[in-house]
């Protein structure tokens, strides 16, 4: 079901791909190995992370030895997720676990989990009252959602709730935007009655924690997957170190809570390693 659903310095490049006239956005850099034709491709869904990730990857000695070019691609489009992850084009991918499961990409292309973000809860958030998870309450409400179906908290979970309650989208006034921050802006200005998102500490400055209702707890966080066609230990260790460095510098509550998956790398003492049976 999931498969059918999903069915120089640095130069910014906007390029057209032959994917139903989709527009792909990417950042590319040349490594020191100018005669090396191999390209390292990273695929993410967060545009704000792209330039920082590219900078870190392009300055990495191991990638400079093994590859001639590094490209960071970003998109929320389902068809591009299928292209880069479902068809194994991406060497490094930040996606939800259900994407990998949908295409059996871990076994088909030998993707290996190298890091993950913490599980979180999905909430209905209101401005003036505590939302109720009932058909009577939600019927006719103005609901703010994310416009990309790969988002668990902003699309999949709330859509699942509506389906469980037997509420047709025709009976809801749904407003779609392209970021969680935009959802918060809609709610703060009264453009919608409720939104579906995660809750972060800073939200207390704009909204009341008394007016949030959990839809689902323990929603699995995004994971970093590295394609390991060979036993390239140097690469996996350097990727983990790079991701850990990025997480330590980010201002995001979510992206700062990175957990590295145990392996034989010599990791920093402060690296967060999840307990195997924790999830």
3-state secondary structure of 112: strand
* pLDDT value for 212: 97
Q: What is the rounded distance in angstroms from the CA atom of residue 220 to the CA atom of residue 217?
A: 9
Contact 188, 95 (CB under 8 A): no
Cα 168 to Cα 61, 162, 191: the distances in Å are 53, 7, 21
Nearest to 40 by CA among 23, 22, 59, 24: 59
The structure tokens listed for 82 are 């299928």
Nearest to 62 by CA among 265, 260, 261, 250: 265
What CATH topology corresponds to 2-117+222-260?
D-Maltodextrin-Binding Protein; domain 2 (3.40.190)
* Domain made up of 120-219: CATH architecture: 3-Layer(aba) Sandwich (3.40)
How many helices (H) and strands (E) are present in the chain, helices listed first? 10, 13
What is the C-alpha to C-alpha distance for residues 94 and 97, in angstroms, rounded to an integer? 9
For residues 129 and 208, what is the distance between their CA atoms, to the nearest angstrom? 9
Contact indicator for 203, 225 with CB cutoff of 8 Å = no
Domain boundaries, the chain: 2-117+222-260, 120-219
The alpha carbon of residue 275 and the mean position of all alpha carbons in its chain are separated, in whole angstroms, by: 22
Contact 195, 214 (CB under 8 A): no
Report CA dihedral (228, 232, 234, 240) to the nearest 10 degrees.
Answer: 10
Q: What is the mean pLDDT of each run of 10 residues along the chain (279 residues)?
A: 42 33 71 94 90 94 96 86 90 89 88 91 96 95 89 91 93 92 96 95 93 91 91 93 92 84 63 43
Question: Is 120-219 in the same CATH topology as 2-117+222-260?
Answer: yes
């Amino acid at each position: 079901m999931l498969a059918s659903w999903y069915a120089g310095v640095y130069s910014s490049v906007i390029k057209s791909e032959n994917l139903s006239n989709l527009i792909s956005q990417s950042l590319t850099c040349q490594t020191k190995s100018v005669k090396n034709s191999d390209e390292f491709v990273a695929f993410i869904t967060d545009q704000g992370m792209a330039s920082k990730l590219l900078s870190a990857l392009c300055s990495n000695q191991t990638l400079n030895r093994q590859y001639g070019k590094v490209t960071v691609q970003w998109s929320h489009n389902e068809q591009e997720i299928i292209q880069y992850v479902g068809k194994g084009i991406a060497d490094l991918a930040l996606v939800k676990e259900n994407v990998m499961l949908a295409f059996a990409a871990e076994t088909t292309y030998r993707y290996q989990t190298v890091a993950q973000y913490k599980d979180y809860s999905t909430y209905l958030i209101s401005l003036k009252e505590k939302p109720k998870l009932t058909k009577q309450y939600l019927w006719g409400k103005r609901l703010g959602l994310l416009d990309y179906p790969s988002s668990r908290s902003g699309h999949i979970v709330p859509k699942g709730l509506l389906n469980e309650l037997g509420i047709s989208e025709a009976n809801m006034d749904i407003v779609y935007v392209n970021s969680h921050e935009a959802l918060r802006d809609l709610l703060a200005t009264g453009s919608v009655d409720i939104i579906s998102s995660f809750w972060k500490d800073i939200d207390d400055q704009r909204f009341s924690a008394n007016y949030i209702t959990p839809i689902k707890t323990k929603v699995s966080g995004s994971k970093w997957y590295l394609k390991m066609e060979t036993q390239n230990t140097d690469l996996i260790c350097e990727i983990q170190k790079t991701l850990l460095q990025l997480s330590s510098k980010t201002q995001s509550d979510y992206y700062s809570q990175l957990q590295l998956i145990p392996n034989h790398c010599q990791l920093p003492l402060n690296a967060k390693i999840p307990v195997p049976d924790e999830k």
